[in-house]
Amino acid sequence: MANTHLTELDDSNFDAFIAQASGPTLVDFWAPWCGPCQMIGPVVEEIATENAGKFSVAKVNVDNSPAVSSRFGIRSIPSLLFFKGGERKDQAIGVIGKSEILRRLEALI
């Protein structure tokens, strides 16, 4: 992946990443075959690049990470989960705008 500010997570590294994230964290649960996921993907990448050091941003491919997806009850994608201090604080399902994603992240600062 070209974006160095965006971390790919799976069942093996999810917990460690969430535990070490210092500030608000956005995790995009997606799949390559999901049309709406392809729409929101570039927005998530922009947020990761533009807010490096302010927010942690990661993606989880639900096809490759069944345990994490199941634990958080991911049934519809894209699903955006917002974490702070290792705990899920907010969630959005479906395509939402960049300003709404940023508003939710800012609320966790």
In the residue annotation, 32 being an active-site residue is answered as no
Q: Is 37 a catalytic residue?
A: yes
Ranges of each domain in the chain: 6-106
Pick from 55, 58, 94, 89: nearest CA to 74: 94
Catalytic residue among 18, 34, 58, 80: 34
What is the predicted pLDDT for the residue at 22?
Answer: 83
Give pTM, 2 decimals. Answer: 0.95
In 3-state terms, what secondary structure has residue 81? strand
Choose, from 9, 37, 48, 57, the residue flagged as catalytic: 37
Regions of the chain where pLDDT drops below 70? 1-4
Ordered alpha helix ranges (H), the chain:
14-20, 35-50, 66-71, 98-106
**Alpha carbon separation from 29 to 41, 77, 95 (Å, rounded):** 10, 6, 12
CB 45 within 8 A of CB 74: no
pLDDT for 3 equals 63
CATH code for the structural domain at 6-106: 3.40.30.10
